[in-house]
Amino acid sequence: MTEFFERRPDLNHTIQLLAVTHPHIDHVRGVGLFLSPNSPFKVANIITNGLEISSGGRQQKRLHTWAEAQGVPLQKISLKDVPPKLGLTSPIIDPIRCEAVDPEIRVLFSTPDVQPGDWRTAEFENVNNRSMVLRVDFGDTSVLLMADLEEKGISTLLNLMADSPLLDADVLKVGHHGSWNATNTDLLTAVTPDLAVIMMGPSDREVAWSAWAYGHPRRDTVEMLVEAVTLSRTPAVEVPVATKAKQFELMRVDKAVCGTGWDGTVVIEAGTTGKARRVE
């Protein structure tokens, strides 16, 4: 991030939107960087799902308290706020205006305030199922950010956005680190991604709370992505995929499915015209 702002001094180290999808510690651990009085970064707007529970609840509560004390615009979004088929936007959700193009940012899903009738208690108590899902449109490129949404949340999202074009996206940020329960064929049929990016750690980091410990990404998930993604990966690569927790095998991937555990930082470039492409 520091290198980015060094290239763009005109942005004055300002993050226009900080979106925290849900209060699990791996998603909120870094918020302290922005809240420090000595932080090199400024935050102009914040959106969250409003929850202050689970492993990162203390950090998310601290973020809410800080925003209110500093007068930083904060929008806590729940599922009842999201219009079916349309998604939710506002000056806080979408504060960004560019000279050549006006990006659009929408929230497509967030936490139900109360347990839906077709959800089991365990599904409602699973904070992953209450993640905030966002869509970003920039020029001719659309990006769907699935956070850690799992099967029940995905089912509700698909019903909420049925017959809407908002799930159809060029770039898919794959849900929950490529786990076995956060991607399915119904979702991929709706999205029709050109390329997909999985955020996970390396498979050889054999410690607790890691991609190795959980088995991320799962082979079945990567196989579904390879089948669904339209662009190719040249040259093809052999990458480690999990058959279960702590057990990996090599799989050949010849489609545009990228993973931070395989590739390191993945850079996707989008211009004001034309579709996005991976550049690094």
pLDDT at 276: 84
pLDDT at 278: 78
Q: Cβ atoms within 10 A of the Cβ of 48, count?
A: 25
Supply angle C-alpha 196, 199, 203, rounded to 5.
115
Would you say residue 28 lies in a domain?
Answer: no
pLDDT at 100: 84
- pLDDT level of residue 70 (50, 70, 90 thresholds): very high
pLDDT at 180: 97
> Can you tell me the distance from the alpha carbon of 93 to that of 104, in angstroms, rounded to the nearest whole number?
9
pTM above 0.85, yes or no: yes
Would you say residue 226 lies in a domain?
Answer: yes
How would you classify residue 70: left for phi > 0, otherwise alpha for psi between -120 and 50, otherwise beta? alpha
Residue (of 108, 119, 69, 75) closest to 93 by Cα position: 75
pLDDT at 247: 98
**Interval 163-168 mean pLDDT:** 96
Would you say residue 38 lies in a domain?
Answer: no
pLDDT at 198: 98
- Which letter does DSSP use for residue 78 in this model? B
> What range does the domain containing 145 cover?
78-278
Phi, psi dihedral angles at 168 (to 5 degrees): -75, 110
Phi, psi dihedral angles at 253 (to 5 degrees): -120, 115
- pLDDT level of residue 212 (50, 70, 90 thresholds): very high
**Interval 218-229 mean pLDDT:** 98
**Interval 123-135 mean pLDDT:** 98
- Do residues 157 and 133 touch, judged by C-beta distance below 8 A? yes
Task: Indicate the SS3 state at residue 155.
Answer: helix
pLDDT at 7: 92
Would you say residue 185 lies in a domain?
Answer: yes
What b/e readout covers 120-143, taking b as 16+ CB neighbours within 10 angstroms?
eeebbebbbbbbbbbbbbbbebbb
**Interval 181-204 mean pLDDT:** 98
- Which letter does DSSP use for residue 256 in this model? S
**Interval 66-73 mean pLDDT:** 97
> Can you tell me the distance from the alpha carbon of 94 to that of 155, in angstroms, rounded to the nearest whole number?
26
What do you get for the CA distance between the two ends of the chain, in Å? 16
- pLDDT level of residue 195 (50, 70, 90 thresholds): very high
Rounded (10°) CA dihedral 256, 260, 261, 263: 60
1, pLDDT greater than 90: no
Would you say residue 68 lies in a domain?
Answer: no
Would you say residue 161 lies in a domain?
Answer: yes
Would you say residue 267 lies in a domain?
Answer: yes
**Interval 195-214 mean pLDDT:** 97
pLDDT at 255: 97
**Interval 126-152 mean pLDDT:** 97
Task: Indicate the SS3 state at residue 106.
Answer: strand
pLDDT at 272: 85
Q: Any idea which residue has 């659309």 for tokens?
A: 142
93-99, Cβ contacts within 8 angstroms, sequence gap of 24 or more: 93/17, 93/45, 93/47, 94/17, 95/16, 95/17, 95/44, 95/45, 96/16, 96/17
277, pLDDT greater than 90: no
Q: What's the whole-number average pLDDT of the chain? A: 96
Phi, psi dihedral angles at 235 (to 5 degrees): -80, 165
Would you say residue 35 lies in a domain?
Answer: no
280, pLDDT greater than 80: no
187, pLDDT greater than 90: yes
**Interval 15-43 mean pLDDT:** 95
Question: How many domains in the chain?
Answer: 1
**Interval 7-35 mean pLDDT:** 95
Give 230-265 pLDDT, tens digit per residue: 999 999 999 999 999 999 999 999 999 999 999 999
**Interval 70-96 mean pLDDT:** 98
99, pLDDT greater than 90: no
